[in-house]
Amino acid sequence: MRTLRRWASTAAALLLITGSVVAGGGGVANAYGHDGSMDVYQIAISFNCNNKTYCNPDELGGFWGWAEFDHNPATGANTGDAELTGCSHGTFKGAAHMSVEITNWTVAPGSAGPRTFFVTDETTTTFRGQREVTTETNADTGVPAVEGHYSSVDIFGIQPPPGINAQITVAFKPAR
């Protein structure tokens, strides 16, 4: 269960890092892949923890998100967007939505293996309609930069107990 608690902490940290490290001044949403001229990764994340035995009772709830990472082969630029929502049934009691515009990312060894997405700098966020301050970061997203569907067993390394589930799906479309 130690691995499960570590991953739950990682998921919570991702939500907190994305919410507190990233920041404001949002812009217009990009057309994903710019008519096919860019490499595009699309990521879906779902994490639910509703088991008081394994999850902190003040942190019961879930975290869901969609993200897209673009790579422009012509310029080498890496950009992206994410829409993230969390819900807590503990102390916070409620839901929060976050829109993120990523101005740079990379792939490096990290918590999801040798190919993990990192948001490297100048990320802008709108959290509950409020814009935050832009900062630089090197945040390990915990998301593998390899196409596939990752179940709770893949993520935790064990079958989690009832009330705990995680799923990550990574899709890739190369530039044409």
For 69-100, write each residue's pLDDT tens digit.
999 999 999 999 999 898 888 777 788 888 88
- The DSSP bridge pattern shows strands 164-173 and 61-71 to be unpaired
Over 80: is that where the pLDDT of 25 sits?
Answer: no
Taking the whole predicted model, whether its pTM rises above 0.85 is answered as no
pLDDT attached to residue 74 = 94
| Continuous H helices in the chain | 2-20, 152-156
Residue 20 has pLDDT above 70, yes or no: no
11-20, 58-67, 130-139, range with the lowest pLDDT: 11-20
Mean pLDDT of 123-150: 81
- pLDDT band (50, 70, 90) for residue 33: low
Closest CA to 74 of 21, 30, 131, 35: 35
pLDDT for position 45 = 96
Q: For residue 153, give the H/E element and its range.
A: helix 152-156
The token pair that represents 36 in the structure block: 């096919």
Average pLDDT over the chain, rounded to an integer: 80
Tokens standing for residue 173: 């479309």
**For position 127, what pLDDT does the model report?**
75
58-62, 63-67, 74-78, 141-145 — which is least confidently predicted? 58-62
Task: Measure the CA–CA gap between 102 and 104, rounded to whole angstroms.
Answer: 6
